[in-house]
Amino acid sequence: MSGTPTSNHAHRDVVLETARLILADNGVKGLTIEGVSARTGVAKTTIYRRFRSKQELALAVVRQMTAEVVAVEQHGNSRARLVAVLERAVTLLRTTVMGKVMKGLVSDIATDPELGAAYHREVISLRVTTVHDIVQDGVASGELKPETDAGILHELLFGAVYYRLLLNGGELESAMADRIVDAILPAFLIHPSH
């Protein structure tokens, strides 16, 4: 009648999937361990054994979704590659539950050091690396100024997106990635187009 015979993974997945559904419907505020327990049939205790808090659970969903968007290797000039990277982020935020989740989760990420570290490790650092690589290649190919600071470039690119998402209250347009890159890049190009 109970006592799942299978491994501990089955539960994990059910819980994660349900969490994602709840997040889609009601955001992070609507996500409660109690609710997930009720909807999955998985006992509260069991959930607590795997996720210490609803934030951790939500972050696990974020991690999962981010992992699903496999980083396809991008080719082309610096501009194209930067747009591609940024566009992936914008699209994820625009078209999936990711936007809602990040809105609800950002305060916890910013506040809880452990959660913040996890987010940085699993999401941010990938972006930093990617932008850094692009910059390195661009400098090597003579496209970008040698003194280009990949760190600040990364913050400018993604900052604009999240600022609008979280504080500026506007919609993320699909062309946003293009517009941002075009606005910034002239500052880093050796030969701005005009």
Q: Which residues bind a copy of itself (CB under 8 A)?
A: 1, 27-29, 103-111, 116-117, 119-120, 124, 149, 152-153, 155-156, 158-169, 179-180, 183-187, 192
1 binds DNA (CB under 7 A): yes
Helix ranges restricted to H, the chain:
8-30, 33-40, 44-50, 54-68, 78-95, 98-111, 113-119, 125-140, 150-163, 176-184
C-beta closer to a copy of itself: residue 10 or 190: 190
Q: Do 70 and 122 form a contact (C-beta atoms < 8 A)?
A: no
CB 119 → a copy of itself: shortest distance, Å?
A: 7
State yes or no: residue 46 binds DNA (CB under 7 A).
yes
Minimum CB separation from a copy of itself for residue 13, in Å?
27
Q: Does 41 bind DNA (CB under 7 A)?
A: yes
**By CB under 7 A, is residue 50 in contact with DNA?**
yes
Contact partner, 45, from DNA, a copy of itself, none, Cβ < 5-8 Å per class = DNA
Nearest Cα to Cα of residue 133 among 122, 148, 118, 123: 148
Count of residues that interact with DNA, criterion CB under 7 A: 26
Q: Does 54 bind DNA (CB under 7 A)?
A: yes
Residue 142 CA to residue 145 CA, distance in Å, equals 7
Q: List beta partners, residue 144.
A: 189
- Where does residue 83 rank: exposed (0-12), middle (13-18), buried (19+ CB within 10 A)? buried
Six token digits for residue 183: 């606005």
Q: For residue 135, what are its two tokens?
A: 């910059």
Smallest separation (angstroms) from DNA to the CB of 41: 5
Should residue 34 be labelled a site residue for DNA when binding is judged by CB under 7 A?
yes
Q: Which stretch binds DNA (CB under 7 A): 52-60, 70-78, 139-147, 177-185?
A: 52-60
Dist. CA 23–CA 29, nearest whole Å: 8
Task: Name the site residues for DNA (rule: CB under 7 A).
Answer: 1-8, 10-11, 32-35, 41-46, 48-50, 52-54
